Amino acid sequence: MEQEIQELQENQVETQVSQATSDGYQVKLEIFEGPLDLLLFLIRKKKIDIHDIPIAVITRDYLEYLEKKDQINLDREAEFLLIAALLIYIKSQMLLPREQEAAREDDPRQILVDRLLEYQKVKIACSLLREKEEDQLQRWRRTFLPPVARPDELDLLEVSLFDLAETFFLILKRKEKENFQIIRGKDISAEEKMKEMVHYLEKHGSMDFLEYFENQETLEEALVSFFCLLELIKNHTVIAVQEQLFQTIRVWLRKTRQPSHPHGSSHE
């Protein structure tokens, strides 16, 4: 039950009700924070001692409030029904004949009383904190300051797990966008690429393949260019030389009309 109700509104209704002597009011369920809040309200209204609740009376009152609703929204009001069930359960326990000793030891109402007492404490803590909140909201602080220059020292921030998770999802989202761009990258046709490489060789004479490879826009394009290189070697269009392992591959156009090539050691 997560109603966002203005405190003001709540106060108004409560004063209205407390001024009343009869039951002629339409009290909306929504003004109560939950079933325990409603129960406490009924107990206070009837001036009942919380340690000695007449279950039958309070159950009747409680159900009356529920009945004022045309229909029960299970999402929002299931908790009210749960407490109604608890009340009826307690009453039935009290009606059952019990051995006297046992009856004295555990009053079936105790479970409810404990919860109500605990909740009552929470309500009072709330009202005290609310006073503090209202007071603090009237005290203003400066919220901005020029940044303090601290060139080489990074501030360690205390972050919670929640912060970390938030950051992680932010990064993930950013990463998703990056991937998205790669997927949208244009289709690379091997044929086009081969033509492009031959043009490059015709223009420049030779090619530093590592450099060419690195200048490709996308990984996909780079890979295609490597396939093309292999293809061009295979169909005797180019000669490729790698002088040492892991070093660049130099590429020349093969001059088919001139079988003897200045660089003899060619790998095909």
Partner 1 sequence: MNEQLKAILEVLIFISQEPLTISKIKEVLGEIPEEELEEALQSLVADYQQGQRGIQVIKSGGGFIFTTKPEYDQWVRRLLQIEKKTKLSSAALETLSIIAYHQPITQAEISAIRGVDSTYSLKTLLQKKLIKIVGRKKAPGNPLVYRTTEKFLQYFGLNSLDDLPKEEEIAKILEEEKETVS
Q: Which is nearer to partner 1, 127 or 189 (CB)?
A: 127
Span 123-152, contacts to partner 1 by CB under 8 A? 123-126, 128-130, 132-143, 145
**What minimum distance in Å lies between the beta carbon of 84 and partner 1?**
12
What is the x/- site pattern for partner 1, positions 69-98, by CB under 8 A?
Answer: ----------x--xx---------------
Selection from 132, 56, 133 nearest residue 91 by Cα: 56
Q: Could you give the residue ranges of the DSSP H alpha helices within 96-189?
A: 100-105, 110-137, 161-184
CA gap 237, 249 in Å, rounded: 15
Q: Which is nearer to partner 1, 80 or 212 (CB)?
A: 80
**What minimum distance in Å lies between the beta carbon of 15 and partner 1?**
14
What is the x/- site pattern for partner 1, positions 218-247, by CB under 8 A?
Answer: ------------------------------
Q: How many residues bind partner 1 (CB under 8 A)?
A: 46
Q: Which is nearer to partner 1, 129 or 171 (CB)?
A: 129
Q: Does 208 bind partner 1 (CB under 8 A)?
A: no
CA gap 123, 117 in Å, rounded: 10
CA gap 241, 229 in Å, rounded: 12
Q: Does 68 bind partner 1 (CB under 8 A)?
A: no
Q: Does 3 bind partner 1 (CB under 8 A)?
A: yes
CA gap 179, 167 in Å, rounded: 18
Span 19-58, contacts to partner 1 by CB under 8 A? 33-37, 44, 47
Q: Which is nearer to partner 1, 39 or 249 (CB)?
A: 39
**What minimum distance in Å lies between the beta carbon of 22 and partner 1?**
18
Token pair, residue 210, equals 């590592």
CA distances from 268 to 187, 228, 229, 246, 260 (A): 28, 13, 11, 18, 15
Q: How many CB atoms lie within 10 A of CB 196?
A: 14
Q: Does 114 bind partner 1 (CB under 8 A)?
A: no
Show the beta-strand stretches assigned E in the chain. 206-208, 238-242, 249-253
Q: Which of 60-68, 158-166, 176-184, 251-259 is the region at the interface with partner 1 (rule: CB under 8 A)?
A: 158-166
Enumerate residues 6+ apart whose C-beta is below 8 A from 220. 182, 185, 188
**232 with 194: CB under 8 angstroms?**
yes
Contact residues for partner 1, defined by CB under 8 A: 1-5, 7, 10, 33-37, 44, 47, 79, 82-83, 115, 118-126, 128-130, 132-143, 145, 160-162
